Structure 1
Amino acid sequence: MSLALLCSGQGRQDRDSFSLLADAPAAVPAFAAAAAILGDHPANFCRTAPIATLHANREGQILCVTRALAAAAALFPNGVPADTIVAGYSVGEMAAWGIAGVWPPAETLRLVDHRARSMDVAGGPDDQLAYVRGLPRGTVERLAERFGCAIAIVNPDRLFIVGGPRSAAEALCAAALREGAARAAPMAVHVASHTPRLAGAVAPFAAALAAIPTQRPTLRLMTASGATLVSRPQQALAGLAGQVAETIDWAELLEALGERGVTRILELGPGRALADMAAAVLPIAEVRALDDFRGLAGARAWLTA
């Protein structure tokens, strides 16, 4: 078995994001690191915070990275097998670097906090991500240019994430539907991640990354910057910082997993959007999401079957 762990981006966090993990002893370091930033245990934070707060840019990024860090620790209390590939979607890449041991949980989440704050300062007060499914890339690029938006993420099966001002993103979605898109709508992410609107966030985030010592990955860490494996983190920091203002090609990364012989994939969540995409691109692989299981025991059994 060649395993890949996928770390989700923000947008799917909800009241039950930590229901499977709250009592896992191995997840305590991740939860403690998150509580130091959020002011509360993340499970309680998800249960009690207003929905708008759960989907705010800063809180959403912290919660999603905490979920992945906690999930990996809970599933592999003795350590993730060294031949595992770990990769992350959008802010999920920060979780992937943490799971791979480049930074400990506390430093990982402090960097996520800095990333989110830098993005909030650089972005517009009413920015928005939206999705368009079913149109060719050239058509989506033309619509994005027309409405002052940009493609943020390229996903398989003609699914594109676009970002820009809220009114522009909504207008783009309406025009995409008129052009024949299967679906198009705003998302619960209120920052234009991975577009030039966040160019001002790159330098401050790069400075924060440069200030934290890195360790060589203990796993096979794949970055969305070119779908390559990271062996020397210091040489990949510029790409990690630049991602906040550049298009991510997630379809290319999934294809790279197949080329490297991955036969089993687990999305750490929250949600199963990445699992669905991986299953479509890699039909010969066994693909599950942690949220498919009723408990950690079932997930562990599947991983070792």
Structure 2
Amino acid sequence: MFALTADAPQAAGLFAHAATLLGDRDPREIVRTGSGDVLHRNRTGQILCSLQALAAAAALRDTLPDRLTVAGYSVGEVAAWGVAGLFSATDTLDLVARRAEAMDAASPGGDGLLFVRGLSRKSIERLCERHNAAIAIVNPGNAFVLGGSRATLEALADEAKADAARVVGLPVEVASHTRRLAGASAAFRASLRHVRLMRSPTDGARVLSGVDGSPVIDTKAGFDKLAAQISQTVQWADCLQGCIEGGATAFLELGPGRALSEMAAGAYSDIPARSLEAFRTLQGAYAWLRDHSTK
């Protein structure tokens, strides 16, 4: 993380602001020296992941096309509002911190997430019903993230391994996007009442809602969905479809990682898809954007 943005002057203020949310610790230093336990703490992880997207967008701002659809995965949906210019970048980071705090306060503890690929939706639903778990995220290609207590997920994983192509626990401390976090949705919706909207959602870049993949048009409805997403299933496959229906000519994942661009490439092999992490320099990303986007 931050390999291309750590020294970008456009992102300097973002790193400074994020440090104030992280106990005055430089986020770049946390990433360089932090252990897995530190990096995967719910609040820290959400701030770092959102900072990555916002810093990347700041560094690429002058090269981004005028026609832009922005979709965010999990906490990335809050970052997407910032990338699209609906929230200021610093307000976005503040909201991410409040979101994580609300989730931690609402979580009963001992919860987590499990990734399962290679089973049908009906099979996944039956597993969840038997084990008191829930579908947290629907990805393309029969890939699902499930949420529940760790004990529940361990039992579910043992059963799923007989037929699934891949089953792996995720380093997440809360059952995101399940009804177990209904209290966090309510608390975060209250926080959204105080954020300043920079412009109308209908101007410029389109933002997609994670709960149904539809574009945000009305501010109140958009806020309602952004808060509800904490405790409702994220329909990521629908978000990718929404990008295609909106005329996407390429996918660029701001990061961290490459998982989302790989999903997009797998689902829509005829659409170029890259992650910022795949480039060695920002100049390489600039050139790719110029070649694969329309103004």
- The answer to whether TM tops 0.5 is yes
Conserved in 2, the CA contact under 8 Å of 1:131 and 1:161? yes
**Partner residue, 1:226:** 212
CA contact (8 A) 1:73 1:79 kept: no
Q: Distance in 2 between matches of 1:81 and 1:33?
A: 27
Distance in 2 between the 1:54 and 1:41 partners? 13
Correspondence list, 1:1-305, <5 A: 17-38=1-22, 39-76=24-61, 78=62, 80-178=64-162, 180-215=163-198, 216-217=200-201, 218-305=204-291
| Aligned equivalents of 1:235, 1:29: Cα separation in 2 | 31
Contact 1:135–1:181, Cα closer than 8 Å, also in 2: yes
1:128, 1:190 within 8 Å by CA — same for their partners in 2? yes
Shift of the alpha carbon at 1:295?
1.3
Deviations 1:251-289 (A, max 9, x none): 111112112221111001111110011011111111101
1:122 is aligned with what amino acid? A
Root-mean-square deviation (CA, aligned residues, Å) is: 1.3
Structure 1: which amino acid aligns with 2:255? G
Cα offset for 1:232?
3.2
Give the drift of 1:241: 0.3
SS of corresponding position for 1:223:
coil
Q: Is the 8 A contact 1:30 1:105 kept in 2?
A: yes
TM superposition score normalised by structure 2: 0.94
In the other structure, the counterpart of 1:6 is none
Shift of 1:61: 0.4
How big is the shift at 1:135?
Answer: 0.5
1:47-66, Cα deviation, whole Å (9 max, x unpaired) = 22232010011100000000
CA offset at residue 103 of structure 1?
1.2
- Matching residue's letter, 2:222: A
Name segments (4+ residues, structure 1) moved above 4 Å. none
Q: How many residues align?
A: 287
Unmatched runs of 5 consecutive residues or more in structure 1: 1-16
Structure 2 segments unaligned to the other structure (5+ residues): none
CA distance in 2, matches of 1:142, 1:193: 20
The amino acid that maps onto 2:176 is S
Q: Residues of 2 paired with 1:130 and 1:92: CA distance?
A: 19
The answer to whether the 8 A contact 1:255-1:281 is kept is no
How many Å separate the matches in 2 of 1:262 and 1:79?
16
Q: Percent identity?
A: 47
Tell me if the contact between 1:64 and 1:269 (Cα under 8 Å) persists in the aligned partners.
Answer: yes
